[in-house]
Amino acid sequence: MAIEDDVLVIGGGLAGATAALTAVEEGVQVRLVTYKQSTLRHASGLIDILGYTPGGDGPIVDPFEALSALPEGHPYERVGTEAVRDALSFFDEIAGDAYAGGHTASNALVPTHGGTVKPTARYPVSTAAGLATVPKDTLLVGFETLTDFDAPLAASHLEAAGAPFEARGVTVAFPGIVRDDAKINRYAHLLDHEETVQAGAGETSAREALAATVDANLEDESRVGFPAILGDEHSDEVRADLEDALGVDVFEVPMGPPSLPGMRLEDLLYDALSDAGVRVTSGVPVIDYESDGDGAIDHVVVDRHGQEVPYRAEQYVLATGGLVGKGVRSERDRVFEPVFDCHVPHAAERYDWFVEDVFGEQPYARFGLVPDRELRPLDEDDEPEFSNLRAAGGVLGGYDYAAEKSGAGVSLATGYVAGGRAGTEASR
Amino acid sequence: MSDAEQPTDDHVPGDDEFEPIQVFPEAEKMDLRPGADNCYKCSTCDTNCPVAEVDDEFPGPKFQGPEQWRLKRQDDHDIDDSVMKCSNCMRCDSACPSEVPLSQMHNTARAEYVEENMSKFSREYWRNRMLSNYRQLAPLASAFPRTANFVMGLSVTQWMGEKVLGITSEREFPEFAKTTFREWWAKRGGNATSRERAQEARAERGAEVQSEEKRIAYFHGCYSNYNTTEVGKALVRVFERFGYEVMIPEQACSGTPMFANGMLDDARRAAETNVRELSAAIEDGADVIASCTSCSMSLRQEYPELFDFEGTESVAENTWEAVEYLRVHEDLEGELEGTRVDDASFAYHAPCHSRNQGLDGQTIEVMSAIDGVEAEDVGDSCSGISGTYGWKEENYETSMKIGEEMFEHMEDAEATTGLTECPTCSMQMEHGTGYEIQHTLQVLEAALVGTELEET
């Protein structure tokens, strides 16, 4: 017996979750299989559509306007601008109050932990009060034990970048943290659970102690930015309490990996999957497949610690990520996609996979599958590899998400299209 | 140290066998540098560590694993004593996007620490040894269960336990069954009776009465033998109903508590017995089935990582978790269609060791096929007890802090009965909420065989 469903999505990141959520709307049974935790945990939690053109121009004000100029083969070109809009609305519905930015088609500018500003289409509500376009003087607060965020440096970068307000940074001790390398969820846990900490003369709750520490450093700034560690499960409550105590707006500055806003987005998506009745199998890899001999995939093989368990569906979506997520892998002499061995175009000579200039146009950044307009991966002869396989997100090639700031948008749009097609086909 | 197989970048088609390059002396020792070099310090493992989240003292899996193995390249570095605070939940394994074998590193580091840095005369050493070798004491207790339950329940015993041994007095010792599972099995007629019952079931189902295929060897582990015998009985009845002949091979502890306490020699002895006996059963045509997810985790993952007895691989490849086996080999959900268990509503907690076998969603999926059963998942937090971890006086508070999220979610859930596959998770669930706790197999038994759900 195989474990049977109508649609099987392989990969549990933004693209995979979106594909599963879209497919299940067609009234079919959907399963999502994911191996290691997704690179969402590395992600800022921001939803970028397009921040810069592939040529490097930007920041772009209206991403949708820029989409039509993208070259053939770019994932956005494959699915079309309307699908990108629909996918974003679909995300807005799932995210509800947790995300802001839905009222405008323009990019917002969100300050990052390095003091740069990032053009993004949707942002967690926790970062909303910090937008760089809002002319409010800003105090950035860093912590001695959290070296990834140097608040004074980030503040001076913001000013140097021409932000329309004054920014000042201070570094303080986080009440209750002693370790030099405490984990970010240790900070979040202290605030979430209002743990008791030693502060000055006596004991007080972590939230109160933090507010008191910051209050002593607050001058006439009307908003305060913290690194994104303000709680996990109860982050809205933590932020509201700090705002009450300080009497100013409080926001989070997105951080590098590991990232709580990324984890909160992951939680949001997995709650949605569970509510929608998508079955999730995690912690085990899809390692192989059997074809039905007729150009379609019959079933895939999941390795459950030694047992090879067949999972069968009518339609499959591959959303295993790019080089970082290991949906695309490389060896010394080849670049390949490890589950179905779909075609990944690349130069035969390894030294042609990259250019000397680190920030130049790196060929490896665009490695991935080439899909048709239905997002079916194509083989060397431009024929679909399988009739019932679609691909979405980082596993697709033809775009450089890091340079374009388009990672989340491509995952949403291609996940939406691939999942929708898979769901429709399977419901026939 | 073991000379077991070195980890490789697994699951890559066409990936060549890993060839170690002998740069450093003592290359016969377990050396995990290749895995350590895959770590690019993204720290995702640290954000999954339930201990680091509540305990400021614990430096987290990234340090315990790859960083420590890098430090170990210098001869004058001992294993850091913080490795004893790792609870062996193994969550870091599935967290790592780079396939670093973190739990394997922790297991070997703990073994080295206990071997080389822990005094064999210390209270901690003997306490840990006793806790991890619970199996050695259990037969005595279960020979006189009434006396044992009485003595263990005395406050003076608990006080002594804490003062002398460092075992927390906050917890109540699990009750010993009046008849062990193995005694019940022998009284019932052992393998011969099971064969008859399986054949009857096959006849009833219109299948071949004689079958060499449908045979399982049940790895009951210590807990369902000495304590929750209903779980073992449920497994036997459910499998026999599907026409499986059940065998109960000789067996030792799975080794999980020993890995977690760095008692790798004890674990090796236990593993040797298990591999020998289970291999023999596999040769007799049986698949190995466990009802405890830490036992199946141990046989499937930790044995091949740490040992290389003859048959280790074959045992790993032929071991299954009970419900998983039925889902894959039988039409379990089909059989459950139309069955009914009255008023059964559960708050389900997936144990860490089922989570990292890809089984965390399974119980909820299966339960949804039974009429009258409502099972609600209470989220992905760790229960916090982690076997012997939460029994130690110095860890009790941490253990309860980790468990807090699960307790809250259980209390938010509609049900007032808990459901899980792990015996120690079930202790913690009961301890933190006062709920009765059932095992998934008991619910399947109630649905398929029609036995009443008993109080555990």
DSSP-based three-state secondary structure for A72:
coil
pLDDT attached to residue B30 = 64
Residue pLDDT, tens place only, A175-209: 999 888 888 999 999 999 988 888 777 889 999 99
Instruction: Say if the Cβ atoms of A305 and B300 lie within 8 Å.
Output: yes
Sheet holding A279-282, edge to edge: A279-282, A30-34, A7-10, A315-318, A389-391
Q: Is residue A279 less than 8 Å (CB to CB) from chain B?
A: yes
Pick from A82-91, A373-382, B73-82: least confident: B73-82
Residue pLDDT, tens place only, A353-410: 999 988 888 999 999 999 999 999 999 999 999 999 999 999 999 999 999 999 999 9
Average pLDDT over residues B80-100: 91
Average pLDDT over residues B366-377: 95
Exposure string (b/e) for A2-37, b if CB count within 10 Å is 16 or more? Answer: bbbbbbbbbbbbbbbbbbbbbbbebebbbbbbbbbb
Question: Angle at Cα A182 formed by Cα A177 and Cα A184, nearest 5°?
Answer: 105
Give Cα B385 to chain centroid, integer Å: 12
Which residues in A lie closer than 8 A to residue B51 (C-beta atoms)? none
Instruction: Say if the Cβ atoms of A189 and B53 lie within 8 Å.
Output: yes
The confidence band for B52, taking pLDDT boundaries of 50, 70 and 90, is: very high
**Burial of A250: CB neighbours in 10 Å, binned 0-12, 13-18, 19+:** buried
Instruction: Say if the Cβ atoms of B44 and A37 lie within 8 Å.
Output: yes
pLDDT attached to residue B7 = 46
Rounded to whole angstroms, how far apart are CA atoms B281 and B315? 10
Return the higher-pLDDT residue of B32 and A62.
A62
Residue pLDDT, tens place only, B218-255: 999 999 999 999 999 999 999 999 999 999 999 999 99
pLDDT attached to residue A301 = 97
Instruction: Say if the Cβ atoms of A329 and B316 lie within 8 Å.
Output: no
Instruction: Say if the Cβ atoms of B358 and A189 lie within 8 Å.
Output: no
The structure tokens 């303080």 sit at A172
Which residues in B lie closer than 8 A to residue A338 (C-beta atoms)? 11-13
pLDDT > 90 in chain B, percent: 68
Rounded to whole angstroms, how far apart are CA atoms B299 and B322? 13
Half-sphere exposure of B268 (CA within 13 A, CB side): 16
Instruction: Say if the Cβ atoms of A326 and B44 lie within 8 Å.
Output: no
Window 340-369 of B, Cβ < 8 Å to A = 355-361, 365
Residue A411, pLDDT above cutoff 70: yes
- Mutate which of B9, B10, B11, B407 to disrupt the A interface (most A C-beta within 10 Å)? B11
Residue pLDDT, tens place only, A276-322: 999 999 989 999 999 999 999 999 999 988 789 999 999 999 999 99
Residue A135, pLDDT above cutoff 80: yes
Residue pLDDT, tens place only, B163-180: 777 888 888 878 888 899
Q: Are B144 and B372 in contact (CB under 8 A)?
A: no
The nearest CA of chain B is from the CA of A180 a distance in Å of 10
The confidence band for A149, taking pLDDT boundaries of 50, 70 and 90, is: very high
Which residues in A lie closer than 8 A to residue B300 (C-beta atoms)? 305-307
Average pLDDT over residues B410-428: 95
Q: Is residue B56 less than 8 Å (CB to CB) from chain A?
A: yes
Which residues in A lie closer than 8 A to residue B317 (C-beta atoms)? 306-307
The confidence band for B370, taking pLDDT boundaries of 50, 70 and 90, is: very high
Residue B23, pLDDT above cutoff 80: no
DSSP-based three-state secondary structure for A422:
helix
DSSP string, A317-363: EE---STTTTSSEEETTEEE-TTT-------SSGGGSS-SSTTS--G
Residue pLDDT, tens place only, A201-254: 788 999 999 999 999 999 999 999 999 999 999 999 999 999 999 999 999 999
User: Which residue of A41, A279, A306 is in closest CB contact with B44?
Assistant: A41
Residue B358, pLDDT above cutoff 50: yes
Structure tokens at B236: 């036997």
Sign of torsion, CA A74 A79 A85 A89?
negative
Residue B78, pLDDT above cutoff 90: no
Residue pLDDT, tens place only, B257-298: 999 999 999 999 999 999 999 999 999 999 999 999 999 999
Rounded to whole angstroms, how far apart are CA atoms A359 and A238? 39
pLDDT attached to residue A1 = 75
How many CB atoms are located within 10 Å of the residue B182 CB?
18
Q: How many A/B residue pairs have CB atoms within 8 Å? A: 126
Residue B445, pLDDT above cutoff 70: yes
Instruction: Say if the Cβ atoms of B53 and A258 lie within 8 Å.
Output: no
Instruction: Say if the Cβ atoms of B357 and A177 lie within 8 Å.
Output: no
Average pLDDT over residues B32-46: 85
pLDDT attached to residue B31 = 66
The confidence band for A172, taking pLDDT boundaries of 50, 70 and 90, is: very high
Q: Is residue A257 less than 8 Å (CB to CB) from chain B?
A: yes
- The mean pLDDT of chain A is 94
User: Which residue of B15, B331, B361 is in closest CB contact with A281?
Assistant: B361
Which residues in A lie closer than 8 A to residue B324 (C-beta atoms)? 304, 307, 309
pLDDT attached to residue B16 = 52
Sign of torsion, CA A360 A363 A368 A369?
positive
Residue B24, pLDDT above cutoff 50: no
pLDDT attached to residue B456 = 41
Return the higher-pLDDT residue of B446 and B16.
B446
**Burial of B302: CB neighbours in 10 Å, binned 0-12, 13-18, 19+:** buried
pLDDT attached to residue B6 = 46
Which residues in B lie closer than 8 A to residue A186 (C-beta atoms)? 52-54, 56
The nearest CA of chain A is from the CA of B421 a distance in Å of 17
Which residues in B lie closer than 8 A to residue A325 (C-beta atoms)? 97
For chain B, first and last CA: distance in Å? Answer: 40
The confidence band for B454, taking pLDDT boundaries of 50, 70 and 90, is: low
